[in-house]
Structure 1
Amino acid sequence: MPVGRGMSALGVLALVLVVTRTVLSIQPAIVEQYNGHGVKFTIPDDGNYDFVAVHYSINQPIAGVGAGQWAFDVHTKQGSSFVHTNDLPAIQVHKGDTVYYWLHAQKGGTPSELFGQSAVIGDLTTTPKPTTTTTTTTVRPVVTSKTTSAPSGGSHGSGHSSGGGILTQTMIETQSAGTSGGQSPGGSSVGSSGGTQQVYSGTGYVQHGTSQQSCTSYPCLIFEDNFDFLNFETWTHDLTAGGGGNWEFEYYTNNRTNSYTKDGKLFIKPTLTADNYGEHFLSSGTLDLWGGEPNSLCTSNQFWGCSRQGSPEHIINPIQSARLRSDKAFNFKYGKMEVRAKMPKGDWIWPAIWLLPHRNAYGGWPASGEIDVVESRGNTDYHDENGRSQGVDSFGSTLHFGPVYGYDPYEKAHGEMQVTIPSGTLNDDFHIWTLEWDEEHIKVSFEGQEVMNVSPPPEGFWKLGELDKTNINNPYKYTNNKMAPFDQEFFIILNVAVGGVGFFPDKFRNSPYPKPWNDKSEFTARDFWNHKSQWYPTWNPDQNDGEQAAMQVDYIRVWKMKP
């Protein structure tokens, strides 16, 4: 989603969430050989846990919350213990081998962990009997942890995301002589747990040190969210009426009407502001998003994003929606990102899955870049001046770059696709978009079919965009990396906007009624709202809780493809 085709990326404070954990009740496992070559874990359930996850390696120590060679979730018990067995052909465990492992358990969404465990295989062995009930386990994809060098007295949280997706983080343990909580050198609250200090950071990185990947094989899964629940450690909600700088008609909020998870899917659903505040509020009320607590503070005042006063001509944003970003928890440079999603259907709805830079290494937008994996429009009968469909059966992928607003040659790095699929539109079923990004190119694919593939020349994106023909200063001239500005870490954004200026061009044709507003008008939001009887029925708000108008995301996965 273009940041206004001129909006500077949000400046976001990296906040550290500190959680003090009490003494862990999860107990070490009994580890033994199983069926001649495998391994068996018997984990006492003293805490009545919902499930236990076990990560382990054979004869290879695991650092922190490393995924290990094997990782499983165990959901059923035998008696009063969770039991996991593994006798797959690939595993070979013999007497004298050391099994290194760590455990993660959850009860009601609250996690407990036990780290740094090991057991030497002795003479004890178990042979499965045909009449024995097999424990049901679910293979957890192997996810590599992020390791850091921590300061003295510092530590960091575990890698399980309480069931809402895997976000690998680092646990570094330091021995503590005391048993009471205190302050770390960096000012974070810490609490002791069995003589070990643990600090949990929601950022995914230790703030004091430098993060690095510890992948041992490739492709290496470094991020996954299956949206079993909405993980607030991973996703931060924007709170602003400034939208993306395109004077869209929504304001972004954090509630479970506009963003929620259900049946393993994330829903981002636009609704009417008047449903909450009444229609009179739009023309006479005050929308105050400044907030008074850390979790309710306005995230951007750009374009009057923190407070708006309604009047009959300039009404308050008539739509409320949600925009989620991963910048406090996950940022990456180079790799493969896969998203399985369903786009919304309804006139003037604008969904987007995109990336912005974690830091503006080359300056404000668009100098530091933007990667739009998919942008679509929810209209069912919407065509450009050449008669090509531009509605819910099509989408675009784009790179934004350039020195300043007005010099963004995105048309040099843009691809569009009108889908021809049995389901008809992008709203009828889930589809997979793939971003492949490395030192040579950026490619977006849809269901395996290439949509956009941008490989800049040796002179970089400055040359690709023909910006060398201008007299404007080149922000990339001090780097010899041709991928600049796409040589930095980026974060993921998921949002649903509505209307605005620019993305629904006046020259495009909508049927059965024309576009309700003109981009050159001073009263775009008012004109849009005055034609609610035309566009709102296309959202089908009275069917299936209005979820036709929602963008639904099944999963997001990111792999590191090479060292």
Structure 2
Amino acid sequence: CYTDRSDNSYLSNGKLIIEAKQESFTGPAEPVDWNTNPGNRTLPYTSARLRTKDKGDWKYGRIEVRAKLPYGQGIWPAIWMMPTDEIYGGWASSGEIDIMEAINLNTNSASHNIHGTIHFGGEWPNNRHAGAHITLQDSNPTTEFHTYTIDWAEDKMRWYVDGIHYGTQIANHWYTDNPIGSSFAPFDQRFHLILNVAVGGQWPGNPNASTQFPQTMEVDYVRVYSCPDSPNTLTSCQ
């Protein structure tokens, strides 16, 4: 369960800590913004999901987050963005921007992969996605801080780790099924930032006996640049 308790999200030594814990907890079966009356369920883990919706919402620019990541089987840290207004409809017709995702860090030879992805197209199950990944060969994202960045322009997005460019998506490769969308839709609207540590899920699988708890994502800073010289082309963010 995601909670709003200080056990799961807090400040320590000037850093934001999101902590996943192994503990039985009864809470909403779904995030409250998914369902106005979700009911409750009891799960064996707790964590936190922080978002800037209606407090920090952006259209185009550079988003940069310096963080140290959690590790282990079933652990899924994410730095991502969702549409604030969802004018094109439900997921994923209004889009999703994943600045950084990682799963099962420190568990196998491919476990230092960092992923950057967009989701678009129609509402589930007619959604589509595209992305890239980078493998951190000479450093460990769970013991060292790294800077995860996306440059988001009207017609392109670029992903970086520590200034190293590893992925690009361009507008003629994304779309929305909603007929009101422009050629740049759905990524031509306001999005807000989300930071969370998920436990389990279809992609990473569930934790096992090797997974150590608690697990923490430490966030040193979040910086958003508006690229004022040319917000649609990111000229001032080069």
Q: Distance in 2 between matches of 1:360 and 1:304?
A: 20
2:147 matched to 1:432?
Answer: yes
Residue 550 of structure 1 corresponds to: 216
More strand by share: 2
Which residue of structure 1 lines up, in the alignment, with residue 77 of structure 2?
A: 351
Q: Could you say what secondary structure the match of 1:561 adopts?
A: coil
- Note if 1:323 corresponds to 2:49: yes
2:88–2:180 CA contact under 8 A, matched in 1: no
Task: Give the alignment partner of residue 504 of structure 1, picking from 204, 215, 234.
Answer: 204
Residue aligned with 1:257, SS = coil
Q: Matched residues, percent identical?
A: 32
Residue in 2 that maps onto 1:509: none
Per the alignment, do residues 400 and 303 of structure 1 end up closer, same or farther by CA in structure 2, a change over 3 Å counting? farther
Kindly provide the CA deviation profile for residues 387-435 of structure 1, in whole angstroms up to 9, marking residues without a partner as x.
xx1x2x111110000112122221xx200111122xx311111001111
2:63 corresponds to 1:397: no
Does residue 165 of structure 2 align to residue 450 of structure 1? yes
- Counterparts of 2:66 and 2:220, CA distance in 1: 5
- The one-letter amino acid of 2:3's match is T
The 5 Å alignment of 1:221-300 reads 251-274=1-24, 287-289=26-28, 299-300=32-33
Q: Structure 2 CA distance, aligned partners of 1:323 and 1:305?
A: 17
Aligned to 1:420: 137
Query: What displacement does 1:562 show?
Result: 2.4
Shift of 1:331: 0.2
Matches within 5 A, 1:36-47: none
Rate the CA distance shift 1:408–1:343 in 2: closer, same or farther, 3 A.
same
**Relative to 1, partners in 2 of residues 1:561 and 1:259: Cα closer, same or farther, differing over 3 Å?**
same
User: Residue 174 of structure 2 is aligned with which of 441, 446, 461?
Assistant: 461
Structure 1 or 2, whichever has the larger Rg, is: 1
Deviations along 1:207-247, one digit per CA (max 9) or x if unpaired, are xxxxxxxxxxxxxxxxxxxxxxxxxxxxxxxxxxxxxxxxx
Output the TM-score relative to the length of structure 1. Answer: 0.38
Quick check: 1:355–1:493 contact (8 Å CA) kept in 2? yes
Aligned length, in residue pairs: 228
Does the CA-based 8 Å contact 2:2-2:47 persist in structure 1? Answer: yes
Which has the higher relative contact order, 1 or 2, with Cα contacts under 8 A spaced 6 or more apart?
2
Q: What residue ranges of structure 2 are gaps of 5+ in the alignment?
A: 230-238
Q: Deviations over 1:492-529 (max 9, x none)?
A: 0000001122x126xxxxxxxxxxx6xxxxxxxxxx6x
In structure 2, how many angstroms separate the alpha carbons of the residues matched to 1:331 and 1:307?
30
CA-CA distance at 1:302 after TM superposition: 4.1
Question: One-letter code of the match for 1:558?
Answer: V
**Counterpart amino acid of 1:369?**
G
Question: For 2:43, what is the secondary structure of its paired residue?
Answer: coil
**Offset at 1:288?**
4.8
SS at match of 1:380: coil
Letter in 2 for 1:395: I
Return the structure number with greater helix share: 1
Q: Secondary structure at the match of 2:58?
A: coil
For residues 91-122 of structure 1, the C-alpha deviation after alignment (integer angstroms, 9 at most, x for no partner) is xxxxxxxxxxxxxxxxxxxxxxxxxxxxxxxx
Q: Which of 67, 84, 88 is the equivalent residue of 1:362?
A: 88
> How big is each residue's C-alpha offset from its partner over 1:52-102, in whole Å with a ceiling of 9 and x where there is no partner?
xxxxxxxxxxxxxxxxxxxxxxxxxxxxxxxxxxxxxxxxxxxxxxxxxxx
Structure 1 distance, partners of 2:228, 2:38, is: 41
Offset, 1:303:
11
Structure 1: stretches of 5+ with no match in the other structure: 1-250, 278-286, 291-297, 309-315, 384-388, 468-473, 506-516, 518-527
Give the Cα–Cα distance (whole angstroms) in 2 for the partners of residues 365 and 256 of structure 1.
Answer: 30
Q: Choose which of 323, 335, 344 in structure 1 pairs with 2:61.
A: 335
Pair 303,400 (structure 1): closer, same or farther in 2 beyond 3 Å: farther
Superimposed CA distance per residue, residues 19-78 of structure 1 (whole angstroms, 9 cap, x where no aligned partner): xxxxxxxxxxxxxxxxxxxxxxxxxxxxxxxxxxxxxxxxxxxxxxxxxxxxxxxxxxxx
Matched-pair contact (CA < 8 Å) for 2:54–2:84: no
Within 1, Cα distance between the matches of 2:187 and 2:226?
Answer: 16
Q: Decide whether aligned partners of structure 1 residues 301 and 363 sit closer, same or farther in structure 2, where only a CA change above 3 A counts.
A: closer
The correspondence for 2:180, drawn from 458, 478, 494, is: 478
- RMSD, matched Cα: 2.3
Give me the whole-angstrom Cα distance separating, in 2, the residues matched to 1:335 and 1:300.
26
Residues 347-378 of structure 1 show CA distances to partners (whole Å, capped at 9, x for unaligned) of 21100000000101100000000000000113
Match for residue 234 of structure 2? none
TM-score of the two chains, using structure 2 as the length reference? 0.87
Partner SS for 1:535: coil
Q: Is the 8 A contact 2:80 2:100 kept in 1?
A: yes
SS at structure 2 position matched to 1:426: coil
Q: Is the 8 A contact 2:105 2:142 kept in 1?
A: no
Partner of 1:81: none
Aligned-partner Cα distance in 1 for 2:223–2:85: 22
Is the 8 Å Cα contact of residues 441 and 483 (structure 1) preserved in structure 2? no
The alignment status of 1:560 with 2:234, answered yes or no, reads no
Query: Does 1:407 pair with 2:126?
Result: yes
Give 1:305 deviation, angstroms: 4.3
How many Å apart are 1:304 and its aligned residue?
8.0
Q: Give the whole-Å Cα distance in 2 for the aligned partners of 1:265 and 1:405.
A: 36
Q: Does 1:307 align with 2:40?
A: yes
Residues 301 and 454 of structure 1: CA distance in aligned 2, closer, same or farther (over 3 Å): closer
Query: Of the candidates 206, 210, 228, which is equivalent to residue 535 of structure 1?
Result: 210
